[in-house]
Amino acid sequence: MAWWGKIIGGAFGFVLGGPLGAMLGAAVGHNFDRGLKLSDEFGGLAYGDQERIQAAFFTATFSIMGHIAKADGKVTPAEIANTEAIMAQMNLDAQQRDAAIKLFDEGKAEDFPLHDVLVQFRRECHRRINLIQMFLEIQINTAFSDQNLHPAEQEILYQIADVLGFPRKSLDHLFHLAGAVASPKTKKAAVDEAYQVLGVSAKASDDEVKKAYRRLMNQHHPDKLVSKGLPEEMIKLANEKTQQIKEAYELIKKSR
């Protein structure tokens, strides 16, 4: 939680500039003008600093969740419940929860600068693909929280993926997985979904399945994601992803 302590303390040279910095500053009630000026003058922290990325990830996640929830014209109880569930999983303290809610509300605004936020987020993440995918999975879960992907939500998610440099084909795969998870399934459908989670065909050899499993576990390992900039508060979300991969692999082995 070191990144949060620096934000609350208004540590000069750490605060973000651009739209992410403006939103985070408003959410925590800080005036970052002086800090930004000093950061520009003395160079601030090194580009890609882990704590800076964590602050950017937190800010972009909750503000864009709000934007997606409002995409179809209204924020449903299910979308609010999904946001609250994520905050609960993150074990946010009172200050962090208040900031997350304010960021969510900022994302619902008509003049929310989606493109500018995404451009800065991509720059801060230094195109770390695993981190970007984790971010997209959270946003997709928000869209699917009411068991339905509205066309307006889907279009915004495509825009997000395009700006972040995430292939639409890969995004469609995440859409499919999210829809499958949200729907009741037969035993055969569950096995089919397991292959989709690992990204392999049912015709793949045992060795190919094992390699896919190990690759995904390595990519989604919580410690590795945190080292790349995933806020430590979100480690439970990363653990759930690795658990999904493990369960998929075990189900495939059992079915074979």
The residue type of 46 is A
Per-residue pLDDT averaged across 22-51, rounded? 56
How many angstroms separate the CA atoms of 28 and 70, rounded? 23
pTM of the model: 0.77
Confidence of residue 222 (pLDDT cuts 50, 70, 90): confident
Q: What is the mean pLDDT of the chain?
A: 82
Q: Where are the domains positioned within the chain?
A: 2-165, 184-256
- What are the pLDDT digits (tens) for 56-101? 999 999 999 999 999 988 888 888 888 888 888 888 888 889 999 9
How many angstroms separate the CA atoms of 205 and 195, rounded? 12
Residue 231 exposed, middle or buried by CB count within 10 Å (0-12, 13-18, 19+): buried
Phi/psi of residue 251, nearest 5 degrees: -65, -40
List the one residue out of 146, 154, 174 whose CA is nearest residue 80. Answer: 146
Confidence of residue 37 (pLDDT cuts 50, 70, 90): very low
Neighbours of 75 (CB within 10 A): 17
**pLDDT recorded at residue 45:** 39
- What are the pLDDT digits (tens) for 100-148? 999 999 999 999 999 999 999 999 888 788 889 989 999 998 888 877 7
How many angstroms separate the CA atoms of 125 and 52, rounded? 9
How many angstroms separate the CA atoms of 90 and 138, rounded? 13
Which CATH architecture best describes the domain 184-256? Answer: Orthogonal Bundle (1.10)
* Residue, of 129 and 226, whose pLDDT is higher: 129
Least confident of 116-120, 205-209, 233-237: 233-237
